[in-house]
Amino acid sequence: MTLLTALGRSVGPVLSGRVLFSLPTRAPRFALTVDDGPSPATTPALLDALARHGARASFFLLGDQAEAHPDLVARIAADGHELGNHTWRDEPTWTLPVAEFREKLHATQRVLTAHGPVRWFRPGSGWPTEAHLAVAEQVGLRCVLGSAAAIDGSGAGGPRSARLLDLVVRRGTIVVLHEGTPGRRAVAATVDALLARTARRGLAAVTLSELAG
């Protein structure tokens, strides 16, 4: 399957609202989401930054990483954050045969639900096909992408990222950041600076479920 074909098959689900990009709300809050963890190189500092601001986030975790670092998954949940399914490893979801995707999605779900409820799914590299969405929906997972993202630092952000994100974050925005590798250590500083800026505007970072509620 080509990328163009996969994107074409995703247009219908996107237009029908099956893929979530933002959650409009009157409440002064936005959702902060972080992909590709957990990792000892990034997750502890990221959790510390969130704690300093009294903020909560949704962590879209990889199954293989979660299995390797159960202590970090436990801390994420214990700190009041939300767990999301980002499939088993960091790879483009749209390239996977449906049967393989189902196996990896379910394996990740088993690892994560040992630590808490999981209701959200984010495909690898941004886009699933309609068939992948159907598999996720069969286990009660809603597909979430986002409406604002850091580009620098392989998605972890850089010196300008907090300022640029602050320009576009509004009520109901879903922010996407990345952690999981030593090269993404900047994510903690990005979150620290962004939350300081959004707090001055009266905006609080919450989990997807809190924003949806």
**From CA 194, how far away is CA 175, in angstroms rounded?**
11
Percent of the residues in the chain that have a pLDDT greater than 70, as a whole number: 92
In the structure encoding, which two tokens stand for residue 126, read together?
């941004």
**From CA 79, how far away is CA 180, in angstroms rounded?**
18
**From CA 94, how far away is CA 88, in angstroms rounded?**
14
Location of structure tokens 């602050």: 166
pLDDT at residue 6 tops 60: no
pLDDT the model gives residue 126:
77
CA angle 64, 67, 68 (to 5 degrees): 85
The pLDDT tens digits of the residues spanning 35-82 come to 999 999 999 999 999 999 999 999 999 999 999 999 999 999 999 999
Please tell me the CATH superfamily of domain 3-212, with its number. Glycoside hydrolase/deacetylase (3.20.20.370)
Average of pLDDT values for 172-181? 98
Question: Pick the residue with more confidence: 80 or 125?
Answer: 80
pLDDT at residue 14 tops 90: no
Task: Indicate the average pLDDT of the chain.
Answer: 93
Domain locations in the chain?
3-212
Pairing state between β 174-178 and 82-85: unpaired
pLDDT the model gives residue 2:
47
Just list the catalytic residues. 35, 178
